[in-house]
Every structure is written in structure tokens, then in C-alpha cells.
Amino acid sequence: CECSTMARIDPQHLAWTLENILQNNPVNIIKVPLKESISAKLALDRMLEIS
């Protein structure tokens, strides 16, 4: 099952986002509570270990 949100990411918008980060002007920032961010980071780290 493909994630519809991830499917909308294209190279042009990714480049635009990264360029803004390099210019110290981050865009489309999503903030989540600390507890959830810790759990999400752990899940991402585990996925990266597998790949």
C-alpha cells in the first residue's frame, strides 16, 4: 500500500525544501510533542538499522 502523502513528494519540491534549509529558512515545519518525537526517532533508527 503506497502512502499517498509520500507519493506527492517530487524532486523539485524536495530540492526547494533542502535549499531553504541551507539558507536557514526551513519551511513546512511540523511540530510534535516530545514523547511522540522520541518514539518516532526510535522507529526510524530501527528501520535504518535493518536497511
Based on the structure, what is the number of domains in the chain? Answer: 1
**The dihedral sign for the CA sequence 15, 8, 34, 36:** negative
Contact present, 8 and 15 (Cβ < 8 Å): no
State the pTM of this model.
0.55
pLDDT in tens, 1-51: 577 877 888 999 999 999 999 999 999 898 999 999 999 999 999 999 987
The amino acid at 30: I
Please give the residue range of the domain that contains residue 38.
Answer: 4-50
What pLDDT does residue 8 have?
83
